[in-house]
A and B are shown apart, each in its own frame.
Chain A
Amino acid sequence: MSIPVLKFDAVIVGAGGAGLRSAIQLSEAGLKTAVLSKVFPTRSHTVAAQGGVAASLGNSEEDHWTWHMYDTVKGSDWLGDQDAIEFMCRKANEVVVELEHYGMPFDRTDDGKIYQRPFGGHMSNFGEKPVRRSCAAADRTGHAMLHAMYQRNVKANTQFFVEWMALDLIRDEEGHVIGVTAMEMETGQVVIFHSRATIFATGGAGRIYYSSTNAFINTGDGLGMAARAGIPLEDMEFWQFHPTGVAGAGVLITEGVRGEGGILRNSSKERFMERYAPNAKDLASRDVVSRAMATEIKEGRGCGVNKDYVLLDITHLDPATIMKRLPGIHEIGIQFAGVDCLKEPLPVVPTCHYQMGGIPTHYSGRVVVPQNGDFNTVVPGFYAGGECACASVHGANRLGTNSLLDLLVFGKSAGDSAVEDLKAGKAHRDLPKDAADKALARIAAIDNRKGGANVHETRLAMQRTMQDHAGVFRFGDMLKQGVEKILEVEKAARQLEIKDKSMAWNTARSEALEMENLIEVAKATMISAEARKESRGAHVRDDAPDTEEFPNGRNDKEWLKHTLFSPVDNSITYKPVNLQPLTVETVALKTRSY
């Protein structure tokens, strides 16, 4: 069967914040650029980001990128690479101001500057007290960001392929990435996108968990494609649980609520964060807050019949302020919790929210893998940015508002690097004859299988396994069992069957293909988590407790290193953390406390 081939200088998979930001660089440099997306660009999950984007503009009070850098390193529990973190924090003002020029309607102060609000973990003067660093557009920051960048791309002639699903990476014999296979959902036709540069910006994979703030679209397709192409996945044990998902639904209550003065309380109405984080209190970083909530619940101080949630209280705030600064929150309380938050506190639980790990990249956005003793060997032609990538700036734990910053900075740098590499004049490399075989075989297997596994049931089994065995609190024996269980689920996920065999608009097939990606991520997560025998950031193990020798359970002697999970044989190797920033001194190792 002959497969149509479309030729571009660059193909970007993903039209969320990272993909759109990369595309601007490429299209404005005059390169022929395609952007593929499973949904219309402004329906990408970046739309859901409400809290804001971090930049040390210093508009509301004194601030400095070195303070931001310190907070990010500390937030990462020293697992973040300090060269990448410096790069990001120094670039923050530039990318935010650029957005402003693209027409982003930021909130303003009375004197017309970008309004900034405080956000968990962001402090002034190297951890002293909370600082106002988050820039927002009401509670629609991500939405406004995508609109501004989409318009900019339309002007720059970026070519969009909407409701197209990328299936697999194409690599040639020497390992160069030379494009992707993709399916047009409208027709079911598989097409080869032949490119000189391929950029992944496919977002997160939060749907591996049962309770997740992520929309259904976050199925980790980029990670699945990379894994199938033999590229290791970095630090996949680190998942941030958002402290405040609505109990039962997973729907997120933005941290901005605590930024504006919201208080967490247990069943006796106590403001318990005062015990866990005396300085930052309710504004401590996410994992600290999640752990405190889980502890309150575990020790019987949760609320409700099952004592399985705590309360987020904003009843003491001025209703006018709530409606002005946090208008969406009132609605969410009513829709998904049946609570009027102006009068009653909201029921909340820690819920899977953000993936710190991903496809390993250098801060230039180039994908890097270990080869012959060099951990940072570039995979020619391959770039990644945003939540699917691991630069690594978030390390073991991301600070809120740093991921919108990540996608702007690394989306841009991936684009810039691709432009630089393409200007160096590389021609399209020849397509191997079997370029589309892998993708076609996967589809044919799903279409033709009889007596296979049901997609919905397999997904549920995976989500339950991940939630129970690799949740916000982790236990050695549970992780061990979890590995066995997830490998069982994997067997089912390799044997999916669908009833509908139609070519055009076959959503069952699309969901089956997504499931094959989800399972790669789930497996990488479970195996990486089981292997890391310390607690660090969001990876908190019961058998690695807080001791004098290992404060917070963190063991720098043995575990100050990145995990690389190899999907080829489910094995794990480690690579050193880069503690050397670009121009400033190392943020020295310290116990992380707020």
Chain B
Amino acid sequence: MERKDYERLRWRCIRRALLELDITLTRFLDDGFSSLDEVQQQAFVALADLEDYDLWDLITGKAEIDDPVMSEVVAMLRKSRVRLAE
């Protein structure tokens, strides 16, 4: 991902409306994101564009998303927050 695109994405992850997402997404950017392939990265960008409660509902399993790649990335996000709870 180009620097500028990554930095835009970063701002949209570290400045959320909900602290829950600030914590979860910042952590994921720092240790999960670089291992994503290009298609998964784009799916993450799309997820980060969602409204806070919609994204939070996906991460907490209250909602599901049809897109298979996005759903894969959501599963990784879920794991990243479980580690946080430990």
Chain A contact residues, CB within 8 Å of chain B: 38-39, 42-48, 140, 143, 163, 185-186, 212-217, 249-252, 327, 331-332, 334-338, 502, 504-507, 510
Contacts and interface: CB of A to CB of B under 8 A. Distances in A.
A283 B7 CA distance: 44
17 contacts: A39-B17, A42-B17, A45-B17, A47-B53, A215-B22, A216-B15, A217-B16, A251-B20, A252-B19, A331-B56, A334-B85, A335-B59, A335-B81, A335-B84, A335-B85, A338-B85, A506-B7
Contact of B3 (A48, A336, A502): A502
A505 B8 contact: yes
A331 B60 contact: yes
A335 B12 CA distance: 21
Contacts of B46: none
- 3 nearest A-B residue pairs (beta carbon): A47-B17, A505-B7, A331-B60
Interface in B59-82: 59-60, 62, 81
A100 B22 CA distance: 30
Given A216-B22, A338-B85, A507 B52 contact: no
Nearest to A503: B4
A48 B19 contact: yes
Nearest to A39: B15
A468 to B, nearest CB: 21
Contacts of B12: 39
Contacts, number: 90
Given A252-B19, A332-B20, A336-B85, A505 B52 contact: no
Interface in B2-46: 3-4, 7-8, 10-12, 14-20, 22-23, 26
Contacts of A335: 20, 59-60, 81, 84-85
Interface residues of B, number: 28
The main secondary structure of chain B at its interface with chain A is helix
Given A163-B11, A505-B11, A506-B7, A337 B22 contact: no
A43 B16 contact: yes
Given A338-B86, A505-B8, A215 B18 contact: yes
Contacts of A185: 11
B15 A217 contact: yes
Nearest to A331: B60
A507 B13 CA distance: 11
B53 A140 contact: yes
Contacts of B85: 334-338
Contacts of B4: 502, 504-505
A505 B7 CA distance: 6
Contact of B53 (A143, A252, A502): A143
B11 A510 contact: yes
A216 B8 contact: no
A251 B19 contact: yes
Contacts of B60: 331, 334-335
A44 B16 CA distance: 8
A36 B78 CA distance: 33
Nearest to B14: A216
Given A249-B84, A335-B81, A507 B23 contact: no
B76 to A, nearest CB: 15
B44 to A, nearest CB: 17
Contact of B62 (A47, A250, A331, A505): A331
A306 to B, nearest CB: 16
A215 B53 contact: no
A332 B20 CA distance: 8
B59 to A, nearest CB: 8
A501 B59 CA distance: 34
A108 B83 CA distance: 39
Nearest to A213: B19
A186 B9 CA distance: 11
B33 to A, nearest CB: 14
Nearest to B18: A48
A342 to B, nearest CB: 15
B11 to A, nearest CB: 5
Given A331-B60, A334-B60, A338-B86, A215 B19 contact: yes
A44 B17 contact: yes
B84 A336 contact: yes
A450 B14 CA distance: 26
Contacts of A331: 56, 60, 62
A261 B50 CA distance: 33
A336 B85 CA distance: 5
Contact of A43 (B8, B23, B52, B59): B52
Nearest to B49: A40
A293 B59 CA distance: 31
A39 to B, nearest CB: 5
A91 to B, nearest CB: 26
B32 to A, nearest CB: 16
Contacts of B18: 47-48, 215
Contacts of B86: 338
Nearest to B62: A331
A245 B32 CA distance: 27
A212 B19 CA distance: 9
Contacts of A217: 15-17
A163 B19 CA distance: 19
